[in-house]
Amino acid sequence: MELRFKNSKIKKQCEDPKRAQRDFGLRMGTVLTQRVAELWAATCLLDIKFISAARLHRLKGDRKYQYAVDLVNPYRLVFEPLLQDGVEIWDLDRIDIIRIEQVVNYHGK
């Protein structure tokens, strides 16, 4: 899958394990870089659906065009599919380009 990033900060956090661990702590930094590696290795989002620990899920409300995967509870890696012509938001087997938006606890706890 092709990965793009919202900004250079999130790109560095996702691509550099030491940076991820420095910014988020050892456990979450390790899980973050693992999830990013899984996304890179996937051919489409459907591949990620079968990784139970990632728990790929579509978001709702003002994030309805985004997906997330679990990191260390309650944090998630949020990304947006960059849809090509004829591909819909729910076509997991056809989504092969995403933009990583943020690491966040969107539950507000």
Residue 29 belongs to a domain: yes
Q: Domain total for the chain?
A: 1
pLDDT of residue 109: 54
Asked whether residue 87 carries a pLDDT value surpassing 90, the answer given is no
Band of pLDDT at residue 58, cut at 50, 70 and 90: very high
pTM for the model stands at: 0.92
**What number is the average pLDDT over the span 73-80?**
96
**What number is the average pLDDT over the span 67-95?**
93
Residue 109 belongs to a domain: no
Q: Cβ neighbours of residue 50 under 8 Å, at least 6 residues apart?
A: none
Residue 79 belongs to a domain: yes
Q: Return d(Cα 94, Cα 65) in angstroms, integer.
A: 15
Residue 8 belongs to a domain: yes
Query: Comparing 88 with 55, which gets the higher pLDDT?
Result: 55
Residues spanned by the domain of 11: 2-104
Average pLDDT, the chain: 94
Q: Return d(Cα 20, Cα 42) in angstroms, integer.
A: 21
What confidence tens digit (pLDDT) does each residue in 2-52 have? 999 999 999 999 999 999 999 999 999 999 999 999 999 999 999 999 999
CATH number at residue 21: 3.30.2310.20
**Residue 19's CB: how many other CB atoms inside 10 A?**
17
pLDDT of residue 80: 96
Asked whether residue 99 carries a pLDDT value surpassing 70, the answer given is yes
